[in-house]
Amino acid sequence: MSDSEVFHLGLNREMLTGAELAIVPGDPERVQRIAELMDNPVKLASHREFVTWRAEVDGKSVVVCSTGIGGPSTSIAVEELAQLGIRTFLRVGTTGAIQPQINVGDVIITTGSVRLDGASLHFGPLSYPAVADFACTRAMVDVAIENNLTYWTGITASSDTFYPGQERYDTYTKRVRKEYQGLMEEWQSMGVLNYEMESATLLTMCATMGLRAACVAGVIVNRTCNETPDTERLASVEPNAINTVVAAARSLLK
């Protein structure tokens, strides 16, 4: 777009109509579904993995923008939205649990992430923690309680890769590098709840930039018993996480 103020999103500040909060799913196809749970949804732009809609909650503008998969593309979306005035980022997605007591359909609200990515290192050293904003996390927890959802709070392992970084052996080579072999068992022994691919970058980036961020994910598989999601259950899992993030946005905008 010729009037875009940023490199990738195809957006300018005027299009956001004063929005300071963004809901950021990874999947572009989720953006419209999320926006349509709010008032006056309108599509703003679509470029590569970045699809952006705007909607309203109690008369206040909210942006919904997909980040694509992984830290590098997430960092682009967050940076450019921040340039346009967004100060709070609520990530919503799906995840694979690694603790046996977590069931498909539960939601995981991340309080901090194991930084198995590379993008977060561009914002802070590895000794800097990837932690969620307390107020945003509290809002998600409150919604989960109000809706009688089974939810878990705790640490997420956030990897740049879906296969070796999450110790998956069902690949073309069946090979996982030595430093990643046995890691899932180690994370389990330390109480890590799940794997995903964006939270380490998002949380580190926002904390170092003075922005707020939190993450909620619907559990689509528990890897202690099954590596493949049940496609019939996916449609019922997604609303748990999406409804939580929209309601949390409403609470934070009061």
Any catalytic annotation for residue 223?
Answer: yes
**Active-site residue identified among 80, 167, 196, 238:** 80
> Would you state the pLDDT for residue 2?
52
pLDDT digits (tens, 9 = 90+) for 15-34: 999 999 999 999 999 999 99
Ordered mean pLDDT values, 10 residues apiece, the chain (254 residues): 86 98 98 98 98 98 98 98 99 97 97 98 98 98 98 98 96 97 98 98 98 98 90 84 98 97
Q: Where are the alpha helices (DSSP H) in the chain?
A: 28-35, 71-83, 134-146, 183-189, 199-209, 231-252
Euclidean distance between CA atoms 132 and 58, whole angstroms: 25
Catalytic: which of 54, 196, 223, 238?
Answer: 223
Give pTM, 2 decimals.
Answer: 0.97
Task: Tell me which of 168, 196, 212, 238 is the catalytic residue.
Answer: 168
